[in-house]
Structure 1
Amino acid sequence: MRINLSENQIAEIKQIVQKELLIKGIEPTDEYLFIHCFSKKQKETVYYHLFSENDTLIIRCYARVFDNLGLVVITRRTAKNVFEYLVNQTGFQNTIYLENGIEFRF
């Protein structure tokens, strides 16, 4: 289920993500907040989906990180910063980060 965020909160998330990645678009869908990004240095596309499920905040990331350690660091650091912001804003205590289907803990 999509997280209901204010315009100010979405703008803050955009600023957090833009510290590391170029944002091509942020689009709230019925199911999640979709963030389409691009890493200039690694020349790779990165997608984040933010949503909640059973009182758990989930950030799902899709990126071609298998052979790119620099992109791994950027995608995880960005997700961690977004997590920290959203936990403070929304009160979610349980958080999960999924990267290409694999769960990681911060």
Structure 2
Amino acid sequence: MEEIKRIVQKELFIKGIEPTYEYLFIHCFSKIQKGTVYYHLFTDNDTLIIRCYARVFDNLGLSVTIRSIVKNVFEYLKNQTGLENTIYIENGVEMRI
């Protein structure tokens, strides 16, 4: 969890990290883009899934930032867990990274 925290903190201010029974919840804030970001990390059927909720519709900078973080977190977790299957869901829409 410390490495994930380090990856996220490179770009966003972490307001809270809460491991729950179902997923890891990360609440962040972007000082530059003035936006709140929520990440949920979990596994399902040997697939690593990251869900992200943020207001990116009118904020291209924040969109680029959160996708960069997701890519780095996926790479780290793939190396640590060996999980090859990954899914990224941004605001309810499955995206490719």
TM-score (norm 1): 0.90
1:1-106 alignment, distance < 5 Å: 10-106=1-97
Query: Gaps spanning 5+ residues in structure 1: where?
Result: 1-9
The share of aligned pairs that are identical, in percent, is 77
Q: CA deviation at 1:22?
A: 0.4
Q: How many residues align?
A: 97
Which amino acid is the alignment partner of residue 86 of structure 1? L
* Alignment root-mean-square deviation, CA: 0.5
Query: Gaps spanning 5+ residues in structure 2: where?
Result: none
Q: CA deviation at 1:31?
A: 0.7
Which amino acid is the alignment partner of residue 15 of structure 1? R
Q: CA deviation at 1:54?
A: 1.0
Q: CA deviation at 1:61?
A: 0.1
Matches of 1:24 and 1:31, distance apart in 2: 20
| Deviation sequence 1:47-99 (CA, Å, 0-9, x none) | 00000111100000000001100000001000110000000001110000000
3-state SS in 2 of match to 1:20? coil
Matches of 2:86 and 2:72, distance apart in 1: 12
| Deviation sequence 1:25-44 (CA, Å, 0-9, x none) | 11100110000000001111
TM-score (norm 2): 0.98
List 4+ stretches of structure 1 deviating above 2 A: none
Matches of 2:42 and 2:83, distance apart in 1: 11
Which amino acid is the alignment partner of residue 98 of structure 1? I
